[in-house]
Amino acid sequence: MNTESFLEELAALIGPSHLLTADCDTSPYCVDWRQRYFGRALAVALPGTRDEAAALMRLAHRHRVAVVPQGGNTSTCGAATPDTSGRQLVVGLGRLNRVLAIDAGNDTMTLEAGVTLAAAQQLAARHKRLFPLSLASEGSCQIGGNLSTNAGGMAVLRYGTMRELALGLEVILPDGSLIEDLSGLRKDTSGLDIKQLFIGAEGQLGLITAATLRLFPMPTARATALIGVDTPQEGLDWLHRLRDRFGDRLTTFELISLPCLELVRRQNTARVPFMSPWAILLELSDGGDSAALYPPLLECLAQAHTVDGVVAKNEAEREALWALREVLSDSQKREGPSIKHDIAVPCSAIPVFIDEAGAALEAAFPGCRIIAFGHAGDGNLHYNVSATRPGNTDLFDDEERVNGIVYDIVYRHGGTLAAEHGIGQLKRHWLERYKDPAALALMRAIKQLLDPERRMNPGKWL
């Protein structure tokens, strides 16, 4: 690579003000959200159109420059951070933020990849439609990043992850060629579904520049409740009871452990209406009037002889219940770092996973604190392990051992070590250990086919 001529050509292509080369300008793009990974970039390029991005990729191909796609940079596993060589080009997608089409009749919208998730939700709402992906990072993360990580969140139970929400994709391959498939088709049996290759690929196969996404009717009725239960199994019984009674109207089903409630009460970050070994935050949603959802929900609670339970009577009370869930990550952060696991097991295995992992960790690290909460309706738990006392960091010397204990149990029960946050740099060596070897070999063969020079987001898991 001739760095000087590459950067000159690139500046001419996208405009000098959209090519950042000074350390003070590039440094925010070179550190991840959790500040675990610090890299150094050759430069940060901010193309403004799809054609500029394609020309950029052709130029990088000609000069053999490695490319690190970056959306909102909210990855929690270092997936969008360049290495320390100073030879990788970060490509920020934030200027590709146009709305390309809204097809209300087809319930779809077509957006460029740099549109933030919050802007996409607002756009849908202006058209009286719902775009259901919802994450705490939605103000910053972008549609391209959501697709590349196959993001999930609070409403997967009803609407699915980005894999289910994407109908079409536009992708620039590492050699600069373009796959343009922005159709809004729900059925297409004309061969393999190529777009799925790029969803969840963490920018290692190509640059996503636009997508056609599914929209849904905007729910007008909601019923939200917090229920106390004694065990995760009792929580799971509730999941089945609610699914049987309400079907797809059950939109959210979150499990929250007692240590979570205790830390929120200790810090007074949200209102905790009662303390119980476990709590379930559930939400039903539908068309029509909320009043219609309440009687059957109350009837369900009465039939189960629920002792601890709060049903939100109005929007303010609903927000207060949601706040309890939303402050958890931040409240835990205030009490020091934790070793985080974003795991999933089949829903039916949640109770046994919680029992076995808790016992194994206690045996290995007596007194360690487990902060477990998450999207139990999807089998997905944020299973965070903290040191014996708030503020201590002693456990971090044993981080790999803690991970090994948790992941061994996850895989024994048919689970995964990455349910929604991806692999990035953080978990790549663990993937090697747990992923089916034939599946991993096939993924590598696909990478070799599309990116033989390994220039797309190198240093990550492929």
Ligand X SMILES: Cc1cc2nc3c(=O)[nH]c(=O)nc-3n(C[C@H](O)[C@H](O)[C@H](O)COP(=O)(O)OP(=O)(O)OC[C@H]3O[C@@H](n4cnc5c(N)ncnc54)[C@H](O)[C@@H]3O)c2cc1C
Nearer to ligand X, 153 or 184 (CB): 153
56 binds ligand X (CB under 6 A): no
Nearer to ligand X, 76 or 108 (CB): 76
Helix, strand or coil for residue 226? strand
416 binds ligand X (CB under 6 A): no
Per-residue contact string for residues 207-246; x = within reach of ligand X by CB under 6 A:
xx--------------------------------------
69 binds ligand X (CB under 6 A): yes
Token duo for residue 373 = 């909460």
Give the separation between CA 406 and CA 340, rounded to whole angstroms: 10
Nearer to ligand X, 144 or 168 (CB): 144
Distances (CA, A) of 17 to 14, 54, 209, 298: 8, 19, 21, 59
202 binds ligand X (CB under 6 A): yes
Amino acid at 17: S
Q: CB 149 → ligand X: shortest distance, Å?
A: 4
Per-residue contact string for residues 25-44; x = within reach of ligand X by CB under 6 A:
--------x-----------
Residue 223, φ and ψ in degrees, nearest 5: -135, 130
Full DSSP string of 118-173 = HHHHHHHHHTTEE---B-TTTTT-BHHHHHHTT--BTTHHHH--HHHHEEEEEEE-
* Long-range contacts, 234-237 (Cβ 8 Å, 24+): 234/278, 235/278, 235/280, 235/350, 235/376, 236/347, 236/348, 236/350, 236/351, 236/376
Candidates 10, 50, 57, 73: give the one binding ligand X (CB under 6 A). 73
Nearest in space to 198 (alpha carbons), one of 141, 164, 147, 162: 147
Q: Which stretch binds ligand X (CB under 6 A): 123-131, 177-185, 360-368, 415-423?
A: 415-423
Find out whether 131 and 122 touch, Cβ atoms under 8 Å.
Answer: no
Q: Which stretch binds ligand X (CB under 6 A): 9-17, 144-152, 384-392, 397-405?
A: 144-152
Residue in this structure with the two tokens 């109207």, named with its chain if needed: 249
184 binds ligand X (CB under 6 A): no
Candidates 72, 94, 168, 459: give the one binding ligand X (CB under 6 A). 72
Give the separation between CA 136 and CA 325, rounded to whole angstroms: 11
Candidates 148, 252, 386, 425: give the one binding ligand X (CB under 6 A). 148
> How many of the chain's residues bind ligand X (CB under 6 A)?
36
Q: Which stretch binds ligand X (CB under 6 A): 13-21, 138-146, 260-268, 445-453?
A: 138-146
300 binds ligand X (CB under 6 A): no
Candidates 44, 59, 93, 395: give the one binding ligand X (CB under 6 A). 93
Nearer to ligand X, 203 or 379 (CB): 203
Residue number of the CB atom closest to ligand X: 145
Candidates 26, 142, 338, 384: give the one binding ligand X (CB under 6 A). 142
Q: Which stretch binds ligand X (CB under 6 A): 56-64, 203-211, 232-240, 263-271?
A: 203-211
Instruction: Compute the C-alpha angle 407/409/414, nearest 5°.
Output: 90
Find out whether 161 and 420 touch, Cβ atoms under 8 Å.
Answer: yes
Question: Rounded to a whole number, what is the largest CA-CA distance in the chain?
Answer: 74
Candidates 42, 60, 79, 250: give the one binding ligand X (CB under 6 A). 79
Give the separation between CA 72 and CA 37, rounded to whole angstroms: 16
Nearer to ligand X, 200 or 358 (CB): 200
Candidates 94, 153, 168, 377: give the one binding ligand X (CB under 6 A). 153
Per-residue contact string for residues 261-280; x = within reach of ligand X by CB under 6 A:
--------------------
Residue 74, φ and ψ in degrees, nearest 5: -105, 10
Per-residue 3-state assignment (H helix, E strand, C coil) for 7-74 = HHHHHHHHCHHHEECCHHHHHHHHECCCCCCECCEEEEECCCCHHHHHHHHHHHHHHCCEEEEECCCC
Nearest in space to 79 (alpha carbons), one of 151, 7, 162: 151
Nearer to ligand X, 293 or 419 (CB): 419
421 binds ligand X (CB under 6 A): yes
Residues found near ligand X in the complex (CB under 6 A): 33, 68-76, 79-80, 93, 113, 135-137, 141-142, 144-146, 148-149, 151-153, 202-203, 207-208, 329, 420-422, 457
